[in-house]
């Protein structure tokens, strides 16, 4: 073993800014270098928001990411509302939870089916999978269409939730629309069952590494919006103290800051939520977890994708419950929020598909944003991804280099990092 | 809301793509915004596709034609644009992504093709960007090209729909 040399150098997304490079260097069996090199997205977060009126923040930040647009909008609104002392109605809370569930399903289904599944079917991407297993890919798109329609019903438009605003919504769904979506959610149980059955057959890589898992937590429900920050090492913090958890620091090989708390690194995302909040999952979601052989604390990072599937089941069930509650209560028009001439500082947090997200704003008495900070989930996962890589490489050194490279890619992919949401620039060659 | 179950979809879909926070990358969205203010025929729908990636497959399915507007490296000077069909171009890229964030229009088109749900007609307006910096505005070159680009897309629509006039601003 001591003479093994391995050199993994994956430059995946070089077409834009060289995002997401994996570098592993083993000389004579000794691990010399093991890095995930990332050029990170919202680098100019503060510059984007400083000097802008408070009501623009959610619309600007929802454009940071096409996958987590609702997540950014919600964290932004909560930060603004906490800064300005705005109380929102129960109806608004319910609608926000519902649209958030839509985004969780939307993002998870893409990740599980379009990125993770092809690895297990032995194909390089979802494209050959669409030819060899069209039913699988069509199921994914069917689920995605439902979640997209659920989001659009509430937030008015796909990807960028224009109807979500400080204090509530500028557009409300009708009972008829909600019941139509409810019917499709009930029908989607079959697709959920198929999803879990499919994942249960996949040969998940065997890899265990204990780490600290960080997520939101609430007493009353499986937390996605608000709550406290909880960790599997037994710590809990209120949202304004988020910096006690994130402790950002710089590393030479990445422009993105890393974070750490009780250990050298921590993990956020579906698996972290699963590990912290398992008890609050819907019974059907717990049954799904059992089928996947998952019981907290799960320490195999590859199973983040399993936790995503479990959360999809939970969100389908909880969406049905929320719609029932909304239909029961009836939907009421609410007066729009009016600024009271008093600013302040506020932190908003949501557990978006990839993990806990923080927005923190300082707003002056004219309603203008004077300071802003944002910590995204992937930034918090970098350190943990690298720690996983350092632990995994020595265990698989005897395998062919190609396989080692593939395992490294699968590992990074399990976290579904937010790397280049930024541009979807086409590169064209004319024939 | 995207067409629900059983509803007839407008046969022609225009999708403007890109990230408004990244300079010229947002040009497609600007075109979509401009078109949305026009008095459009019932069989035309305009969508701000943002950075939607693979989800675009669901928008395209069931349409007769789709017209896409996006920033693209089409080998021209900044601000210039090219109209092309999929037969006329190869969309370059890597299929093996580490993240769903990396999937873009190219992937959506290829996936729609693989699933046999790609509309019969796909026309792309690719605009050469000058600047993709975070939180910057459109470059002067792309901004100057915007009226011509909007006219080109409307002309395309008029031709397809057998109409001669360019729709007035509503």
Q: Domain segments of chain B: what residues?
A: 12-160
Tokens standing for A37?
């090199």
Determine whether the interchain pair A66/B92 forms a contact, defined as Cβ–Cβ distance below 8 Å: no
* Cross-strand bridge partners of residue A359: A348, A374
- In A, minimum Cα distance to B81 occurs at A428
For residue A424, list chain B residues with Cβ-Cβ distance below 8 A.
17-19, 25, 51, 53, 70, 104-105
Specify whether the backbone of A159 is left (phi greater than 0), alpha (psi in -120 to 50) or beta: left
Q: Among A44-48, A105-109, B73-77, B138-142, name the one with the lowest average pLDDT.
A: A44-48
Average pLDDT of the segment spanning A391-408:
91
Q: What confidence tens digit (pLDDT) does each residue in A260-271 have?
A: 999 999 999 999
Task: For residue A249, count CB atoms less than 10 angstroms from its CB and return exposed for 0-12, middle for 13-18, buried for 19 or more.
Answer: exposed
Widest CA span of chain B, in angstroms?
Answer: 46
Cα B5 versus chain centre, distance? 24
- By the 8 A CB rule, do A13 and B98 touch? yes
Q: What confidence tens digit (pLDDT) does each residue in A235-277 have?
A: 999 999 999 999 998 887 777 788 999 999 999 999 999 999 9
pLDDT at A12: 46
pLDDT at A170: 93
Q: What is the 3-state secondary structure (H, E, C) of A35-64?
A: EEECCCCCCCHHHHHCCCEHHHHHHHHCCC
- What is the distance in angstroms between the Cα of B168 and the nearest Cα belonging to chain A? 25
First to last CA, chain B: 22
| B114 reaches A (C-beta below 8 A) | yes
Average pLDDT of the segment spanning A36-64:
82
Identify which of A140, A28, A49 has the alpha carbon closest to the alpha carbon of residue B114: A140
Determine whether the interchain pair B72/A106 forms a contact, defined as Cβ–Cβ distance below 8 Å: no
pLDDT at B163: 67
Per-residue pLDDT of chain B (170 residues; tens, 9 = 90+): 444 445 688 999 999 998 888 899 999 999 999 999 988 888 999 999 888 788 899 999 999 999 999 999 888 999 999 999 999 988 877 776 766 666 788 889 999 999 999 999 999 999 999 998 878 899 999 999 999 999 999 999 988 877 655 555 54
- In A, minimum Cα distance to B87 occurs at A431
Identify which of A86, A330, A251, A377 has the alpha carbon closest to the alpha carbon of residue B99: A377
Identify which of B88, B89, B13 has the alpha carbon closest to the alpha carbon of residue B52: B13
Q: Given B84, B95, B104, which is nearest A424 (Cβ)?
A: B104
> B-contacting residues of A 242-281, CB under 8 Å?
none
pLDDT at A372: 94
- By the 8 A CB rule, do A12 and B98 touch? yes
Q: What confidence tens digit (pLDDT) does each residue in A177-201 have?
A: 999 999 999 999 999 999 999 999 9
Determine whether the interchain pair A138/B115 forms a contact, defined as Cβ–Cβ distance below 8 Å: yes
| B51 reaches A (C-beta below 8 A) | yes
Would the pLDDT of A155 be above 70? Answer: yes
Rounded Cα distance between B170 and B39, Å, is: 6
Average pLDDT of the segment spanning A344-348:
98
Rounded Cα distance between A128 and A132, Å, is: 6
Interacting residues of A395 by C-beta distance below 8 A, sequence separation 6+:
A207
CB-CB neighbours of A201 under 10 Å: 7
The CATH topology of domain A45-383 is Cytochrome-c3 Hydrogenase; chain B (1.10.645)
pLDDT at A21: 77
> B-contacting residues of A 27-46, CB under 8 Å?
41-44
pLDDT at A63: 85
The more confidently predicted of residues B3 and A324 is A324
Helix (H, G, I), strand (E, B) or coil at A226: coil
| B92 reaches A (C-beta below 8 A) | yes
Rounded Cα distance between A403 and A260, Å, is: 30
pLDDT at A181: 98
Average pLDDT of the segment spanning A35-57:
80
Would the pLDDT of A157 be above 50? Answer: yes
> B-contacting residues of A 176-205, CB under 8 Å?
177, 180, 184
- Is ipTM > 0.90 here? no
| A139 reaches B (C-beta below 8 A) | no
pLDDT level of residue A422 (50, 70, 90 thresholds): very low
CA distances from residue A197 to A192, A290, A292, A309 in whole angstroms, order as listed = 9, 11, 8, 10
Q: What confidence tens digit (pLDDT) does each residue in A65-98 have?
A: 778 899 999 999 999 999 999 999 999 999 999 9
The more confidently predicted of residues A422 and A138 is A138
Torsion of CA B150, B152, B157, B161, to 10 degrees: 140
Chain mean pLDDT for chain A: 90
Identify which of A72, A46, A48 has the alpha carbon closest to the alpha carbon of residue B135: A48
Q: Among A36-40, A209-213, A402-406, B125-129, name the one with the lowest average pLDDT.
A: A36-40
The more confidently predicted of residues A222 and A115 is A222
Would the pLDDT of A158 be above 60? Answer: no
CATH number of B12-160: 3.40.50.1450
pLDDT at A16: 36
Q: Given A67, A145, A425, which is nearest B100 (Cβ)?
A: A67
The more confidently predicted of residues A375 and A281 is A281
* Cross-strand bridge partners of residue A24: A8, A34
């Amino acid at each position: 073993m001591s003479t093994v040399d391995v050199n993994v150098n994956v430059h995946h997304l070089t077409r834009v800014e060289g995002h997401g490079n994996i570098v592993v260097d083993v000389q004579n069996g000794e691990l010399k270098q093991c890095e995930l090199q990332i050029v990170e997205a919202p680098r100019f977060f503060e510059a984007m928001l400083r000097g802008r009126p408070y009501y623009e923040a959610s619309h600007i930040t929802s454009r940071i990411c096409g996958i987590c647009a609702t997540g950014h909008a919600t964290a932004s609104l909560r930060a603004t509302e906490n800064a300005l002392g705005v109380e929102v109605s129960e109806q608004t809370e319910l609608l926000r939870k519902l649209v958030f569930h839509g985004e969780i399903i939307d993002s998870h289904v893409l990740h599980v089916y379009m990125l993770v599944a092809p690895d297990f079917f032995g194909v390089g991407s979802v494209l050959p999978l669409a030819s060899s297993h069209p039913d699988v890919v069509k199921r994914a798109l069917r689920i995605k269409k439902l979640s997209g329609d659920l989001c659009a019903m509430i937030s008015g438009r796909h990807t960028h939730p224009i109807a979500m605003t400080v204090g509530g919504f500028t557009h409300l769904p009708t009972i008829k629309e909600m019941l139509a979506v409810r019917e499709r959610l009930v029908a989607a149980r079959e697709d959920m069952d198929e999803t879990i059955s499919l994942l249960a057959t996949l040969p998940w890589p065997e890899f265990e590494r204990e780490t600290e898992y960080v997520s939101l937590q609430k007493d009353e429900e499986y937390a996605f919006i608000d709550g406290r920050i909880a960790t599997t090492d037994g710590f809990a913090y209120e949202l304004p103290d988020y910096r006690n958890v994130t402790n950002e620091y710089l590393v030479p090989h990445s422009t993105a800051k890393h974070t750490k708390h009780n250990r050298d690194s921590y993990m956020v995302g579906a698996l972290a939520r699963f590990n912290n909040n398992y008890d609050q999952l819907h019974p059907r979601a717990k049954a799904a977890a059992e089928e996947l052989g998952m019981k907290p604390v799960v320490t195999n990072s590859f199973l983040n994708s399993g936790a995503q599937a479990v959360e999809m089941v939970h969100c389908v069930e909880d969406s049905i419950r929320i719609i029932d509650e909304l239909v029961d209560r009836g939907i009421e028009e609410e007066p729009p929020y009016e600024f009271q001439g008093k600013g302040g500082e506020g932190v908003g947090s949501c557990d978006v598909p990839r993990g806990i997200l923080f927005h923190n704003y300082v707003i002056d008495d004219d309603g203008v944003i004077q300071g802003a900070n944002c910590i995204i989930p992937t930034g918090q996962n970098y350190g943990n991804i690298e720690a996983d890589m350092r632990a995994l490489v020595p265990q698989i050194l005897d395998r062919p280099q190609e396989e080692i490279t593939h395992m490294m890619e699968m590992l990074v992919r399990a976290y579904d990092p937010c790397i280049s949401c930024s541009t979807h620039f086409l590169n064209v060659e004319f024939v | 809301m995207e067409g629900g179950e059983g509803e007839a979809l407008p046969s022609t879909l225009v999708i403007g793509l890109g990230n408004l926070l990244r300079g010229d990358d947002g040009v497609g969205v600007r075109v979509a915004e401009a078109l949305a203010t026009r008095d459009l025929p019932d069989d035309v729908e305009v969508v701000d596709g943002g950075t939607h990636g693979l989800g675009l497959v669901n928008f395209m399915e069931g349409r007769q034609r789709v017209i896409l507007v996006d920033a693209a490296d089409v080998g021209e000077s900044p601000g210039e644009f090219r109209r092309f069909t999929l037969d006329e171009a190869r969309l370059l890229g890597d299929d093996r992504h580490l993240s769903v964030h990396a999937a873009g229009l190219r992937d959506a088109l290829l996936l729609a093709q693989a699933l046999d749900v790609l509309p019969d007609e796909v026309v792309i307006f690719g605009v050469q960007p000058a600047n993709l910096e975070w939180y910057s505005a459109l470059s002067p070159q792309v901004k100057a090209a915007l009226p011509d680009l909007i006219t080109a897309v409307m002309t395309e629509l008029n031709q397809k729909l057998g109409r001669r006039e360019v729709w007035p601003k509503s």
